[in-house]
Amino acid sequence: MHSVLIDLSYLVASALFILGLRGLAHPRTAVRGNLLGALGMLLAVVVTLTDRRIVGYEIIAAGLVVGSLIGLALALKIQMTAMPQMVALLNGFGGGASVLVAGTAGAEASLSTGPPPIDVATATVASGIIGAVTFWGSLVAYGKLQGVISERSVHLPAHQILNASLAAVAIGFGVWEVAANSTGWIYVAVVVASSVLGVMLTLPIGGADMPVVIALLNSYSGLAAAATGFVLSNNVLIIAGSLVGASGIILTRIMCKAMNRSLPNVLFGVIPPGKTGPAHDDIYAGKVKSVSGEEVAILFETARRVVIVPGYGMAVAQAQYAVRDLANLLESRGIEVEFAIHPVAGRMPGHMNVLLAEANVPYEKLKEMDAVNPGFEQTDVVLVIGANEVVNPLARTDPNCPIAGMPILDVDKARTVVVIKRSLSPGFAGIPNPLFAADNTLMFFSDGKEAVLQLVAAVKAT
Amino acid sequence: MDTLMTGLTVFVLALFVGFEVITKVPPTLHTPLMSGSNAISGITLIGALIAAGSEQTWLSTLLGFTAVVFATINVVGGFLVTHRMLAMFQQGKKR
C-alpha cells in the first residue's frame, strides 16, 4: 500500500483511540468506546502488514497466533479479584515489547542506513530505560499481588543509594550509546541496568501502595510506547503512548491524593516505626460492643437509609454476591441503600466498582467519597465490610498517625455503624481504629461472607 | 530535526488531549480505563510487526517475534478483559 495511505490509516486509528477513551466517560457508552479502540488497533495492524519493509509473514503469523492465544486465555480466565495482577502483567508486556522494538529498530537502521541520528538514538535509549523498568517493575508487582513473593515492603541496606547508582549507570550507558553513535551491546547494558532498577524500585513497595504503583507503571508503559514512536518516527505510537501516559499520570495523582501521600513518599518513603499512634488497649478496653445478626436485623427494621462500605476484605471473603442479596432485600423493604466507595478500597483504582458490578450491583448505587460523605449524618445504619483504614477517624484527629490527613469516609457521623470484621486486628497502617470503640458502633465479629449471609437470613425472618 | 519537532509537537498535544479526555472518566470505570488504555499502548505491535517481518538478521527476527508475542498479549488480553468488565457494568444497568 502507498505510504500516504498507511499514514492516513494511522491518523484514523489515532482518532479512534481518542474517541474510544472518550467513550469511557460513561458506563453506557463505554463498551462502544472500547470497541472503537480495538477497531483502531485492528486498522493499524492491517495496514502495517502491507508495509514494503515486510518480506515474510511466517514469523509474524506465528507471533500473532501465540500472543493471541495467551491473551485470550488470560482475559477469559482471570478472576475479577485478580484484575490488578492482570493489569500489572499487561503493563509489563507492553513495556517489554517497547524495549525489543526500539532495540531492533535501532539495530536494523544502523545495518541499512548507517548510524542513527542523535534524536533517534536518544529515543531508543529512553525506550530501553522506561520499557525495561516497566517490564521488571510490573513483574515484581505481579508477583507481590499474586502472592508469589512477599507483599511486605523489602528494603535492602542503602536502598536509595543503590537505586540512584543503578539509574546513573543506566543513563550513563545511554549517554555513551548516543555519543558513540552505536547500538548493540551498549543498548543491552542500558536495558540490563534498567531491569535491575525496575526490580529494585518495586521491591520496597508494600501491598497497600500497589494501586499507586500499578497506575504509575500504566503511565510508563504508555511513555515507553511514545518513545518507541520517536524511534520509528511514527505518530500513531506517539499519540497512543502519550494518551496512555496521561491516563496513568492522572490515576497516579488520584491515588496519591486519596492516601494523602506524595508520589516520592509512596515510592521511597518508609513509615518510621515510632509513629504508631495511641496504644491498642487504651482505645478498645471495655468499650467495644459486639452484636449478632438478629440484633442488626432489628436495626434495619426501623432504618430508612443504609450505606454499605465495602473494603478489600469483602473481596477476599468473596462476599460481594451475598452483599448484593442483602442490598436487594433491604431495598424491597423500602430502605434506601447505597454503596460508599473509597478511592483506595480495592487493590487498584476502581477495583471495588468492578467487583460489585460483577455481582450485578447497578453502578448508580456506587457513590464516590465526596458525594456520599455529606449524607452520613442522615444515614441510619452504615455497614462496614472488611474496610479499616478508609473509615479510621484518627486520619482526621491525630496529626501524628501514619494516615494523618488521608481523606476518609465519615461513617462515624451516622446514627449507627455496624462493622463486620474477624477481629480487632489492625489494617495495613498497623494502628488501632477508634471507630470500633465509638458509642454508635457495633462490632459484628465474623468472616465477611458468613456475617452477610446471617444478616440476610435474619432480615428475612423479621 | 524536522521529524523530531513534528514528533514532539504531536507528543505534547496528545498529552493535553489525554488529560482532557481522561479527567472525564468517572472513578467507577477506572479499572477498565487502565486495562483499556493499556491495550491501546500495545500499539507498539505495529513496530514489532515490521521488526519481525523484515527478516534482516536472525537476531532481529527473533527479537521481533518476541516483541510481536508480547504486544499481541497486551492488545488482545487488554481489549478483551476490558470488554468483559464493561459488559458487567451494562448488565447492572439492565437489571
Position B71 in a domain: yes
**Degrees to nearest 5, angle at CA B53 with B50 and B59:** 95
Question: Residues A314-359: pLDDT tens digits?
Answer: 888 889 899 999 999 999 999 999 999 998 888 888 999 999 999 9
Does the pTM surpass 0.80? The reply is: yes
Position B15 in a domain: no
Position A258 in a domain: yes
**Averaged pLDDT, B46-66:** 88
Beta carbons of A349 and B30 less than 8 Å apart:
yes
Q: For A439, which DSSP code?
A: T
Position A273 in a domain: no
- Locate the chain B residue with the closest alpha carbon to A51: B50
Name chain B contacts of A22, Cβ cutoff 8 Å: 21, 24
Residues spanned by the domain of A224:
81-268
Whether pLDDT at A15 is above 50: yes
Alpha helices in A49-117 (DSSP H): 58-77, 83-112
Beta carbons of A31 and B28 less than 8 Å apart:
no
Residues A303, A228: one domain?
Answer: no
Query: Rounded mean pLDDT of chain A?
Result: 88
Residue B93 burial (10 A CB sphere; 0-12, 13-18, 19+): middle
Q: Note the pLDDT of residue B1.
A: 61
ipTM over 0.90: yes
Q: Note the pLDDT of residue B33.
A: 95
Whether pLDDT at A434 is above 70: yes
Task: Tell me the shortest Cα–Cα distance from A236 to chain B, in angstroms.
Answer: 8
Where among A248, A268, A288 does a domain terminate?
A268
Whether pLDDT at A272 is above 60: no
Euclidean distance between CA atoms B85 and A374, whole angstroms:
30
Name chain B contacts of A97, Cβ cutoff 8 Å: 42, 44-45, 48, 67, 70-71, 74
Position B7 in a domain: no
Q: Note the pLDDT of residue A462.
A: 77
A371 touches chain B (CB under 8 A): no
Question: Residues A143-190: pLDDT tens digits?
Answer: 998 888 877 777 777 778 888 888 888 888 888 888 877 667 888 888
Whether pLDDT at B91 is above 70: no
Beta carbons of B63 and A103 less than 8 Å apart:
yes
Whether pLDDT at A65 is above 70: yes
Residues A285, A254: one domain?
Answer: no
Residues A215, A329: one domain?
Answer: no
> Who's near B35: CB < 8 A, 6+ residues apart?
A83, A86, A87, A90, B78, B81, B82, B85
Q: Note the pLDDT of residue A204.
A: 85
Euclidean distance between CA atoms A111 and A117, whole angstroms:
13
The minimal CB distance from B44 to the residues A97, A111, A348 is found for A97
Where among A53, A77, A101 does a domain terminate?
A77
**Percent of chain A at pLDDT above 90?**
48
**Averaged pLDDT, A347-374:** 90
**Averaged pLDDT, B51-72:** 90
Residues spanned by the domain of B51:
27-94
Whether pLDDT at A142 is above 70: yes
> Who's near A282: CB < 8 A, 6+ residues apart?
none
Is residue A88 within 8 A of residue A351, CB to CB? The reply is no
Question: Residues A231-257: pLDDT tens digits?
Answer: 988 999 999 999 999 999 999 999 888
Counting one residue from A and one from B, how many pairs have CB atoms under 8 Å apart? Answer: 379
SS3 assignment, position A386: coil
Task: Tell me the shortest Cα–Cα distance from B2 to chain A, in angstroms.
Answer: 11
**Averaged pLDDT, A413-429:** 86
The band of B23, judged by pLDDT with boundaries at 50, 70 and 90, is: very high
Residues A264, A144: one domain?
Answer: yes
How many folded domains does chain A comprise? Answer: 3
Residues A301, A399: one domain?
Answer: yes
Euclidean distance between CA atoms A114 and A137, whole angstroms:
34
How many folded domains does chain B comprise? Answer: 1
Q: For A50, which DSSP code?
A: T
Whether pLDDT at A304 is above 60: yes
Position B59 in a domain: yes
**Averaged pLDDT, A186-214:** 87
Name chain A contacts of B47, Cβ cutoff 8 Å: 101-102, 105, 228, 231-232, 234, 237
Q: Note the pLDDT of residue A424.
A: 85
**Candidates B37, B83, B84, B90, partner chain A, best to mutate (most A CBs within 10 A):** B37
The band of A277, judged by pLDDT with boundaries at 50, 70 and 90, is: low
Q: For A290, which DSSP code?
A: B
| A 112-171 → B contacts, CB under 8 A | 112, 119
Beta carbons of A37 and B79 less than 8 Å apart:
yes
Whether pLDDT at B65 is above 80: yes
Residues A284, A251: one domain?
Answer: no
Position A274 in a domain: no
SS3 assignment, position A419: strand
Q: Note the pLDDT of residue A275.
A: 47
- Locate the chain B residue with the closest alpha carbon to A52: B54
Q: Note the pLDDT of residue A115.
A: 75
